[in-house]
Structure 1
């Protein structure tokens, strides 16, 4: 496993040491990338050894099969990564990357596994995150596994599964009347107040927000390595990625850059598509208006909770990737997203998350316009298990439990001598 050479600002290219925990670039507040000594990696890291190592060692399973291109640390793992690549039954070129198979049911497990791993490595004790829901659940799980404290802030209307996860894993759960942007503001204010009050360093929260620390990108980049390996070390024609904060899209682009430097893959990189909901489409709007960054999306509203990010911190990186790759950003209405959930469930046997269905809805749209052909090789990400959104999807369908009164559960249940909250 490689030592980190330095951290590099994605905007101004300032280099920062990775010896101590870092958040943003001290020069311009840009997001930091982890950089390795690629000359050394070219001599030591071999793609042909990956499968053999994974087969020989439990420590090399999941996303940690790519340990040669991840930080040299002892992982906090729950078995994340190496998710299925499902070939569509209807479209010969379509492959659906099922990230719902991860621990906590979403792709967020990858980024939080590595972020919590590094937090433990640095000796941090308190981790805080504003979240649209799934990152909070993943942080709660990995913090519990690492013996760290998690402080999570979510909009009060997130899927109920996200709230339940936080409680079950023993996190400090805070439900906010607002959006993820309001949660981020509150986290920032609390950390600032802690520092001004001279709170002992070990008790000060560390902000583990999307792109405000460098290691969630490192975890998410493993999706790029996986999809290329699962396609026989070749690129697809396009990658469709539901985009709220966009860390996965950014991470995959970083993975492609690294693999090319190592000689692990050649050819033209895939066109990258960022998919959003029309009720919260800051990236799609900025793309359509040819702007280098997005503007805050007012009155954001969509049942695809993970896409309800009014202004992604890394919007300038996402838009640059879309332009360089020849891709685009596309937004779909909630009713079309719901139709796609039902279509893929009934014809493919896959219960998509609303975010994943934003991607399938856009894919189907481009098939109809002829921009894509059914034979074009496309990897489309379902970023979470549809079952995590049962309340949101049922509400969108106006669906209620039959004989609901008869099926009502008791207000409290005895569990191991403990009475659950009423």
Structure 2
């Protein structure tokens, strides 16, 4: 694993040296901090080809195979990462990255495995997090594995599976009559008096490090070649931000060549702050009013890292797409019936967005693309049953 050389602010580029205290945000502008390493020992094809060959790789498996580009820490692992890259049965150049195969059934396991591992190493005893649902379940699981007390704040209408997870893992769960932004306000108001470490999206640097492993994985699984485009359901956007960081690191290391993929940030039309900002040419989003979508993970009315998402998308030559809940449901059923994959509503946003961009000509059928299904549809059975008009009994 790699020693952290420093932290760098994503907004003002302030350099923050490592210390014995767990880092949060930039002390000057409150921007998100990136972890920076001395990567000299991992440079070159030989170092790349050692991945997956050691005893430690076989012991830890999953995303920890990339330990040469991750912080030095003893992992709190439940087997996260190295999820399947499934070729579509209908579209020759389409691959689905199935993040539902992670522990707790979503991509959130990656970021929280890394964050909880690091926080345990810093001696943190209590964490709190606002969540749209799946992050809460992952925090509860990894905190339980690490012996850390977890406080989860979620909207009261999150899928039932998320609530069950939090209770079963022994977390302190609070259901809030509001959105994730309301949950974040409560955490912010109480964290100092309660002694909680705030594990909110992009308010500490290590969830990005876990999520960036998706970028390393998809490139390795495609033969160390970039795809033409990556579709990513974007609520908080940590995965998109992390993958773009991974691509920068891989190029510095000499692990990949060629043109980086177009990054396609996908939102639900009922909560599309980043899409609106992108269309208006803005550098940041504004609070999206009356946010409503059955894709609960996309119901983030103003992402903390909106400025990074917009910058990364524009640098890549990508775009931001918003599709309606009706379109998401149609695409979800299409992939279930014809591919045998039960997407999460957020994953269906990726597949619906792909159809849309093929239709507009932004992409061609010959373009090789990766669509992210960020969670198993089985975690949304109550939500999907309602959308499909199913009821118990009668």
Question: What's the TM-score once normalised by structure 1's chain length?
Answer: 0.91
1:21–1:214 distance in 2 versus 1, CA, 3 Å? same
Shift of 1:371: 2.2
| 1:260 aligns to 2:261 (yes or no) | no
Counterpart Cα distance in 1 of 2:115 and 2:342: 28
Counterpart Cα distance in 2 of 1:174 and 1:66: 35
Counterpart Cα distance in 1 of 2:97 and 2:268: 20
Q: Counterpart of 1:78?
A: 78
User: Unmatched 5+ residue regions in structure 2?
Assistant: none
Q: Which moved more, 1:173-182 or 1:45-54?
A: 45-54
| 1:270 aligns to 2:281 (yes or no) | no
| 1:347 aligns to 2:349 (yes or no) | no
Q: How does 1:11-410 map to 2 (within 5 A)?
A: 11-19=11-19, 20-42=21-43, 46-53=47-54, 57-194=57-194, 204-401=195-392, 403-404=393-394
SS for the counterpart of 2:54 is helix
Shift of 1:39: 3.1
Shift of 1:43: 7.2
Question: What's the TM-score once normalised by structure 2's chain length?
Answer: 0.98
Counterpart Cα distance in 2 of 1:57 and 1:321: 31
Counterpart Cα distance in 2 of 1:79 and 1:161: 20
In the alignment of these two chains, the number of paired residues is 393
> 8 Å contact 1:114–1:216 — kept in the other structure?
yes
SS for the counterpart of 1:92 is coil
Counterpart Cα distance in 2 of 1:389 and 1:131: 16
Shift of 1:41: 3.5
String of CA shifts for 1:149-188, please: whole Å, max 9, x gaps: 0000000000000000000000000000000000000000
List, as ranges, runs of 4+ consecutive aligned residues in structure 1 with deviation greater than 4 Å: none
> 8 Å contact 1:91–1:375 — kept in the other structure?
no
> 8 Å contact 1:53–1:60 — kept in the other structure?
no
User: Unmatched 5+ residue regions in structure 1?
Assistant: 195-203, 405-422
> 8 Å contact 2:44–2:254 — kept in the other structure?
no
Shift of 1:37: 1.0
Q: Counterpart of 1:414?
A: none
Rg comparison, structure with higher value: 1
Counterpart Cα distance in 2 of 1:320 and 1:53: 37
> 8 Å contact 1:45–1:68 — kept in the other structure?
no
Shift of 1:44: 11
String of CA shifts for 1:356-404, please: whole Å, max 9, x gaps: 0011001011122222222210001000000000111111122113x35
Counterpart Cα distance in 2 of 1:12 and 1:262: 25
